[in-house]
Structure 1
Amino acid sequence: MLPTRQLASNGSAPTVQELAGADGRWADDALPTWYIHTTVSLAAAGLIAAVAAAMSLALPPSNVYFRRHGD
């Protein structure tokens, strides 16, 4: 059996403030402590990899490799 959603006191769906709690920091309690650091580190590594790929494609040896040859 699927759990039912708790309705607010007036019979409608709960508001964001009711879901967030008094201090509004519900996401901090839901995520593990390492999640933010891991996400930021992976995003930074992806950015560095994209910049490195763009720079390596701009170097003269890659220009020679990818140059169109006349048919």
Structure 2
Amino acid sequence: MKFRVLLAALPFIGLYSGGSLAAHTPFLFGMPFLLVWNLIWMAATAAILALIHCLDTRDEAAHANEHAGGAQ
């Protein structure tokens, strides 16, 4: 569970750490650095949330308990 919580914190840290880097890099790919940074972290956030969804087994455990209880 702790690993999932750490994964969930990554997008927050990533999005808000870009401001300190923006002063040193004015443009990237012809766009302002902060815009590119936010676009990258938007895609990374979606990937991280998909990974957290795959790692989450609570629904499977509840489903297994439901079937085990009904068989008795």
Question: TM-score when scaled to structure 2?
Answer: 0.39
Q: Greater CA radius of gyration, 1 or 2?
A: 1
Does 1 or 2 have the higher relative contact order (CA < 8 Å, sep 6+)? 2
Q: Which has the higher helix share?
A: 2
